[in-house]
Amino acid sequence: MFGGIRNALMGRSSLAFAGQRSFALSSRIRAAAESTQSNVPQGPIIKTDNERIVSWKLYAKCNKHNTIVSLFAVTEDLDFMKNNEHLSYNEKVLYYMHLPQKSKLMVSAGMLGFRNSQKQEYEAGYQVTCRALKLIEEKKLIGPNDKIEVIITNYGKGRQAFESCLVGKEGAGIRSNIVRISDNTKLKFGGNRAKFQRHAAAAKKSALKGTNSKKATKVRTSTTFRLPKTLKLARKPRFATTSVPHYRRLDAYKIIESPIASETAIKKVEDGNTLVFQVSIKANKHQIKSAVKELYNVDVEKINTLVRPNGTKKAYIRLTADHDALDVANRIGYV
């Protein structure tokens, strides 16, 4: 079988001859390249401490559940060419295309005390960015002529907070050094489709899959079962159900029934700047306060009420400091 294939390739066909010639030429080129590379000594990159900072990179990773801001220094080895002569030309070019980066600081929402769902909020992202910019200013990492590249990733709530800090007063210290802002968010396949198209595709997929493939279980953490709080609208009658409205059932004169002039009540008036009245059993403190204001034109500081054993309600009404309860009692006429 192989002999027949060889004869077909080595026959008089010009196509077979051209294929054989190109194959032989590529083999010679590959062998020459391998021999050239074998003559060049290979080895690891030799690093020294003689470095300089070329630029800075400020990363903002705004995830769905956290916000992380970090600063990296892009460094260059000044003795790289002298110490790494054994490297190939391509390796040297790759080194200068992708210079090494060294981390200088990193701040996250968890480091500032935010826990669980708090880390994904706007406030957490804002505090993280402010803290990172403040540390950069305190440590004096960025020089006046240094260049900064800002790289933002993902679309969490902290992204808007990070951008607000950069354009606000918090980012005034480094704003003049920023030369480039890039977005490093990786988009999923089909992410540029319209929203209705994605929803339609998801609905189609779930319809074909069926309804019994995945069953969610509701987690209950309490033994108390309560109905949900549904919407309750206020009444808006279109017409009156009564021809004549009822008179006011509790006015000021029905709320304040009579003053109490016992010895303890008089002592309250003299010592505690407090008036004591018998009030309607149906009156509450708000109604008592407005009734006292209407009848006697005084301001009330506090009201205490109690229901006596005989079924009547007593109210202790303490007046404000600018009113004297004894004068009011004399004016009423029960002292």
Residue 51 burial (10 A CB sphere; 0-12, 13-18, 19+): middle
Let me know: does 102 contact 73? Beta carbons within 8 Å.
yes
Please count the other Cβ atoms lying within 10 Å of the Cβ belonging to residue 327: 13
Residue 327 φ then ψ, to 5°: -65, -40
Average pLDDT over residues 63-79: 89
Q: Is residue 38 part of a domain?
A: no
Q: Is residue 227 part of a domain?
A: no
Q: Is residue 195 part of a domain?
A: no
The verdict on 173 and 288 lying in the same domain is: no
Q: What is the pLDDT of residue 334?
A: 81
Q: pTM of the entire structure?
A: 0.45
Rg of the chain over CA atoms, in angstroms? 43
Let me know: does 108 contact 124? Beta carbons within 8 Å.
no
The verdict on 55 and 178 lying in the same domain is: yes
Which of 17-26, 119-128, 144-153 is predicted with the least confidence, judged by mean pLDDT?
A: 17-26
The verdict on 178 and 289 lying in the same domain is: no
Q: Is residue 218 part of a domain?
A: no
Percentage of the chain beyond pLDDT 70 is 83
- Contacts of residue 34, Cβ cutoff 8 Å, sequence gap at least 6: none
Please count the other Cβ atoms lying within 10 Å of the Cβ belonging to residue 113: 10
Q: Is residue 280 part of a domain?
A: yes
Task: Give the residue with greater pLDDT, 215 vs 172.
Answer: 172
pLDDT level of residue 117 (50, 70, 90 thresholds): confident
Examine the fold and report which residue of 183, 206, 233 is the final residue of a domain before the chain moves on.
Answer: 183
Let me know: does 128 contact 107? Beta carbons within 8 Å.
yes
How many Å apart are CA 208 and CA 315, to the nearest integer? 72
Query: 228 pLDDT exceeds 50?
Result: yes
Average pLDDT over residues 50-73: 90
CA angle 61, 64, 65 (to 5 degrees): 95
Examine the fold and report which residue of 130, 162, 183 is the final residue of a domain before the chain moves on.
Answer: 183
Query: 47 pLDDT exceeds 90?
Result: no
Give the tens place of pLDDT for each residue, 177-194: 899 999 888 876 655 667
CATH at residue 305: 3.30.70.330
Query: 75 pLDDT exceeds 70?
Result: yes
The verdict on 56 and 155 lying in the same domain is: yes
User: For residue 103, what are the domain limits?
Assistant: 51-183
Q: Is residue 288 part of a domain?
A: yes
Q: What is the pLDDT of residue 40?
A: 44
Total domains in the fold of the chain = 2
CATH at residue 177: 3.30.420.80
